[in-house]
Structure 1
Amino acid sequence: MNFEITEEMMKLISEWDSCTSADVSGAKFAYTFIPTGIGLVIQVKCDVCQRTLNLSDDL
Protein backbone atom coordinates (compact mmCIF):
# COMPACT_ATOMS: atom_id res chain seq x y z
CA MET A 1 0.00 0.00 0.00
CA ASN A 2 1.25 3.46 -0.87
CA PHE A 3 0.16 6.48 1.12
CA GLU A 4 0.71 9.83 -0.56
CA ILE A 5 0.22 13.48 0.27
CA THR A 6 -1.09 15.26 -2.83
CA GLU A 7 -0.13 18.78 -3.87
CA GLU A 8 -3.61 19.95 -2.82
CA MET A 9 -3.04 18.44 0.63
CA MET A 10 0.38 20.12 0.84
CA LYS A 11 -1.31 23.46 0.09
CA LEU A 12 -3.83 22.87 2.92
CA ILE A 13 -1.00 21.91 5.30
CA SER A 14 0.96 25.06 4.38
CA GLU A 15 -2.09 27.26 4.99
CA TRP A 16 -2.79 25.51 8.32
CA ASP A 17 0.83 25.59 9.56
CA SER A 18 1.68 28.54 11.81
CA CYS A 19 4.41 27.06 14.02
CA THR A 20 8.18 27.34 13.88
CA SER A 21 10.08 24.12 14.32
CA ALA A 22 12.09 23.83 17.52
CA ASP A 23 13.96 20.81 16.16
CA VAL A 24 17.34 21.12 14.43
CA SER A 25 16.10 18.90 11.59
CA GLY A 26 13.09 21.13 10.93
CA ALA A 27 10.69 18.21 11.37
CA LYS A 28 7.47 19.10 13.13
CA PHE A 29 4.68 16.96 11.69
CA ALA A 30 3.49 13.41 12.33
CA TYR A 31 1.47 11.92 9.46
CA THR A 32 -1.10 9.22 10.26
CA PHE A 33 -2.75 7.07 7.58
CA ILE A 34 -5.52 4.65 8.63
CA PRO A 35 -7.19 2.61 5.88
CA THR A 36 -10.76 1.65 6.76
CA GLY A 37 -13.56 -0.15 4.97
CA ILE A 38 -15.25 3.15 4.13
CA GLY A 39 -12.26 5.33 3.23
CA LEU A 40 -8.82 6.53 4.21
CA VAL A 41 -8.27 8.55 7.39
CA ILE A 42 -5.38 11.02 6.99
CA GLN A 43 -4.27 13.23 9.86
CA VAL A 44 -1.35 15.62 10.26
CA LYS A 45 -0.33 16.46 13.83
CA CYS A 46 1.95 19.37 14.68
CA ASP A 47 4.57 18.27 17.23
CA VAL A 48 5.07 21.89 18.33
CA CYS A 49 1.52 22.98 19.23
CA GLN A 50 -0.23 19.56 19.26
CA ARG A 51 -2.97 20.64 16.81
CA THR A 52 -4.33 18.05 14.36
CA LEU A 53 -5.42 18.65 10.76
CA ASN A 54 -7.85 16.12 9.29
CA LEU A 55 -7.33 15.52 5.56
CA SER A 56 -9.61 12.48 5.34
CA ASP A 57 -12.11 11.79 2.63
CA ASP A 58 -15.64 12.68 3.69
CA LEU A 59 -16.51 9.53 5.59
Structure 2
Amino acid sequence: MEPLVLNLKAVQERTTLCKSEIYKRIKNGDNFPAPRKITENRSVWVAAEVDAWILSRIGEGV
Protein backbone atom coordinates (compact mmCIF):
# COMPACT_ATOMS: atom_id res chain seq x y z
CA MET A 1 0.00 0.00 0.00
CA GLU A 2 1.28 3.44 -0.96
CA PRO A 3 2.01 5.78 1.99
CA LEU A 4 -0.33 8.75 2.42
CA VAL A 5 2.38 11.00 3.80
CA LEU A 6 6.09 11.33 3.14
CA ASN A 7 8.96 12.49 5.28
CA LEU A 8 11.65 14.77 3.85
CA LYS A 9 13.91 11.89 2.85
CA ALA A 10 11.09 10.23 0.92
CA VAL A 11 10.25 13.52 -0.83
CA GLN A 12 13.91 13.90 -1.80
CA GLU A 13 14.00 10.37 -3.19
CA ARG A 14 10.71 10.78 -5.06
CA THR A 15 11.58 14.14 -6.63
CA THR A 16 15.40 13.77 -6.85
CA LEU A 17 15.65 17.27 -5.34
CA CYS A 18 17.94 18.10 -2.43
CA LYS A 19 16.58 19.54 0.82
CA SER A 20 17.58 23.13 0.02
CA GLU A 21 16.00 22.96 -3.45
CA ILE A 22 12.72 21.65 -2.01
CA TYR A 23 12.49 24.50 0.49
CA LYS A 24 13.58 27.05 -2.14
CA ARG A 25 10.75 25.92 -4.46
CA ILE A 26 8.23 26.18 -1.61
CA LYS A 27 9.44 29.68 -0.71
CA ASN A 28 9.58 30.95 -4.31
CA GLY A 29 6.04 29.86 -5.15
CA ASP A 30 7.00 27.12 -7.61
CA ASN A 31 3.74 25.34 -6.70
CA PHE A 32 5.74 22.79 -4.76
CA PRO A 33 3.54 21.47 -1.94
CA ALA A 34 4.37 22.72 1.53
CA PRO A 35 4.83 20.28 4.41
CA ARG A 36 2.14 19.82 7.06
CA LYS A 37 2.91 19.80 10.78
CA ILE A 38 1.58 16.64 12.39
CA THR A 39 3.30 17.14 15.73
CA GLU A 40 5.36 19.92 17.24
CA ASN A 41 8.58 18.40 15.89
CA ARG A 42 7.42 16.54 12.78
CA SER A 43 6.39 17.69 9.32
CA VAL A 44 5.25 15.53 6.43
CA TRP A 45 4.19 16.01 2.84
CA VAL A 46 0.96 14.63 1.40
CA ALA A 47 2.10 12.00 -1.10
CA ALA A 48 -0.68 12.78 -3.58
CA GLU A 49 0.34 16.47 -3.64
CA VAL A 50 3.99 15.60 -4.31
CA ASP A 51 2.96 13.17 -7.05
CA ALA A 52 0.69 15.81 -8.62
CA TRP A 53 3.59 18.29 -8.63
CA ILE A 54 5.82 15.73 -10.36
CA LEU A 55 3.17 15.01 -12.99
CA SER A 56 2.64 18.74 -13.60
CA ARG A 57 6.38 19.17 -14.22
CA ILE A 58 6.38 16.25 -16.66
CA GLY A 59 3.36 17.77 -18.42
CA GLU A 60 5.22 21.06 -18.80
CA GLY A 61 8.12 19.26 -20.41
CA VAL A 62 10.53 20.59 -17.76
Structure showing greater radius of gyration is 1
TM-score scaled by length of structure 2: 0.32
More strand by share: 1
TM-score scaled by length of structure 1: 0.33
More helix by share: 2
